[in-house]
Chain A
Amino acid sequence: MELIEIKSLKVTFPTEAGLVRSVDCVDLQLGAREKLGLIGETGSGKSVLAHATLRLLQPDALCEGEILYQGRNLLDCTPTELRRLRGRELALIPQNPSRALNPLQTVGKQLFETLRQAGYSKKEAVAKMPELLRSVGAIDPDSWAKAYPHECSGGMCERIVIALSLAFSPSLLLADEPTKGLDSLNRARIITLLGEVTENRALLFITHDLEAAALLCTRLALMYAGELVELGDKAAVFENPLHPYTRGLLFALPARGMQPIPGRSPPLTALPDGCRFHSRCPEAIARCRSQHPPLFDTGNGHFCRCWLYV
């Protein structure tokens, strides 16, 4: 059985400018210990998808569809059930690690609180703290524990946030852009660290960084304007990208010529008819403008939302 199964998930936000369709009919499966990279530009709906999974969206957000975790629909859970699942089973590594820590408390205190939340007694929590910090790469855990978040560097914060999410030993980690804003050295270290800590658990790796995803994940999913546009094994996606958007992203990589995709993604309040990518697509045909493409199965678990693969 799959660990988590997202079935035609739709997330919309009512705003003054109209209904924002952040996530539109997304289907995804993630098996235990599977590592999936969710790739997309800012605003493509990947973070919303992660937050929806943990039911952390603001109250006015509307979720439709199903998110099954071990067969249980998270969208039907009561707040108490959710609280029991959060952290323990599904852990989030939030974006902006330095802002994801309470600025008024020391790292140690926050770690301690989290460990207590995870069910450790006070003594155990104190004893476990250095071990946990060491596991994310701290050489001097005591000085880390004494530091306040503003005294920590970006990489340090990322590690602390990872440590916080590991306090529970969850079965699924949702890492929301953990490599954002890090220099290449730290980025590499964090990727390594994530690889280490997720050896025995599933990872949903949300990023716009294709290379990082390639290093960590076995499967890749690409999102554009709220929908999945391509889904497949890492090798298949890299060797044989089907969707023009995926191809565009690959060409934008430094190693492949650094040619950015022209234009901008459409506003989520006013999505165009037809394919949402057609205005930026170099290969668009007449049909792309008028008809919205479904996700075509091209075999070998490789899916693509493009009229070129009818």
Chain B
Amino acid sequence: MVLEIGNRYILRRFFSGLLAFLLSITLTFFLLRSLPGDYMTDLLLEIGRYAPPELVASFKHEVGLDLPLPEQYLLYLTGILKGNWGHSFEYGLPVFSLIREKLYWTLVLLLPSSLLSAGLGMGFGAYSGWKNGSKTDAFLLHSLVFVGAVPSYCWGFAGLFIFSFRLGLLPFGGYVSLPGTEPAGLFRHALLPVLTLTLCSVPGIYYLMRNSMLDTLGEDYILAARARGFSESRILFQHALPNSILPVLTMTSLHCAHMLAGSVFIETIFAWPGLGLLTYSALETHDLPLLQGIFLVDTLLIIIANLTADLLYPLIDPRIRSRIRGE
């Protein structure tokens, strides 16, 4: 199968990914530098009332912010290539290790909730589309519209209020309990945030899947299969499902990549120190190297998600496979 895809295709995708990556880091580099305000001024104003200009200048000199932009850019690029992403102003730690640590905790939430929401969203969506017009379909559609309309923040709270505050079943956020208190495992700590994240991303995938299923059911080959007397379940699993999943695939992979950056609310409510919370605090403090690092990782993840979808497509869809062969 893989050989059939052709190395050229993989290389091409890879290079277009690389190009997008370079473009994106260049953009973020210049965008971040055009933002008003800087770390030191902010910090000094937080402490007192003045930001002595000589202090700000010496700080800028120290971290190389006083160099001409092209030179800074070159330094930044060579730094990335050498694996040196700089040090966070705020934390003093190497950006890379900081992000790696936070990314780990984000992934602890994200992976299970991505799988769950993709599974549930596609499952419900497929069923709903297949049973279009039925009571189950109407129920699913309306309840998921409701779920999607309520912001994730509220669901997080509702969960916290019911399960942690009222019932006392689950811990109040964080991924560990304080030492000496009743220990709750990572599973119990992660349960609420994962469920909330899942709840909030199921509707999006559901709509996509339902629509895609409806489109597929209107196709002639479904009619033809019926005319041949195939059983309904066979039509669903052999013909309707594989075909309707195709367009949802890219969206789902991107959706998961976006959840990464978009889980700030969930991470805040549940005191889960992941990438979202780090982004938020880095933005607040103008922590330039950290912000650059985070955007770099975000870009990378989205490109990887895209690349994965791109590589999965030819495995599933013979049309794309032959288009590649034709290239």
Contact = CB atoms under 8 A, between A and B. Distances in A.
The reply to whether chain A is a binding partner of chain B is: yes
Q: Which of B220, B228, B230, B317 has the most CB of A within 10 A?
A: B228
Given A59-B133, A150-B319, A101 B227 contact: no
Interface of A: 51, 54, 56, 59-60, 82-88, 91-92, 94-96, 99-106, 113-114, 117, 148, 150-151, 161, 164-165, 167-168
Given A59-B133, A113-B238, A150-B318, A100 B220 contact: yes
A225 to B, nearest CB: 24
Nearest to B231: A83
- Among the interface residues A91, A104, A161, A168, which one has the most CB atoms of the partner chain B within 10 A? A104
Contacts of B242: 104
Contacts of A92: 224, 227
A151 B238 CA distance: 20
18 contacts: A60-B133, A82-B229, A83-B229, A84-B229, A86-B226, A87-B227, A94-B223, A95-B220, A100-B221, A104-B242, A104-B317, A114-B228, A117-B228, A148-B319, A151-B322, A164-B228, A165-B228, A168-B228
A84 B238 CA distance: 19
Contact of B243 (A85, A96, A104, A167): A104
B318 to A, nearest CB: 4
Contacts of A85: 229
A170 to B, nearest CB: 10
Contact of B316 (A102, A104, A161): A104
B220 A117 contact: no
A84 B220 CA distance: 20
A117 B243 CA distance: 21
B225 interface: yes
Given A83-B231, A87-B227, A87-B229, A102 B221 contact: yes
A165 B223 CA distance: 13
B223 A103 contact: no
Nearest to B132: A59
A105 B242 CA distance: 10
B188 interface: no
Chain B interface mostly = helix
B206 to A, nearest CB: 22
A29 B238 CA distance: 36
A151 B220 CA distance: 18
Nearest to B320: A150
A148 B239 CA distance: 14
A1 B126 CA distance: 45
Given A86-B226, A150-B322, 9 more contacts: A83-B230, A100-B221, A102-B221, A102-B225, A102-B238, A117-B230, A150-B319, A165-B228, A168-B228
B284 interface: no
A167 to B, nearest CB: 8
B46 interface: no
Interface string B301-327: 000000000000000111100100000
Nearest to A103: B319
A244 to B, nearest CB: 34
A161 B229 contact: no
Given A59-B133, A150-B318, A150-B322, A100 B228 contact: no
Contact of A102 (B227, B229, B243): B243
B182 interface: no
B133 A87 contact: no
A151 B318 CA distance: 9
Interface string B228-268: 11110000001100110000000000000000000000000
Given A83-B231, A84-B229, A113-B238, A100 B319 contact: no
Contacts of A114: 228
A100 B322 contact: no
A164 B220 CA distance: 14
B317 A86 contact: no
B221 A101 contact: yes
Contacts of B220: 94-96, 99-100
B54 interface: no
B229 A86 contact: yes
The 6 A-B pairs with the shortest beta carbon distances in the complex, nearest first, are A86-B229, A87-B229, A92-B227, A100-B224, A148-B318, A99-B220
Nearest to A92: B227
A95 B219 CA distance: 11
B319 A91 contact: no
Contact of A104 (B225, B230, B318, B322): B318
Contacts of B231: 83
Contacts of A87: 227-229
A14 to B, nearest CB: 13
Given A99-B220, A104-B318, A56 B243 contact: no
B94 to A, nearest CB: 47
Contacts of B225: 102
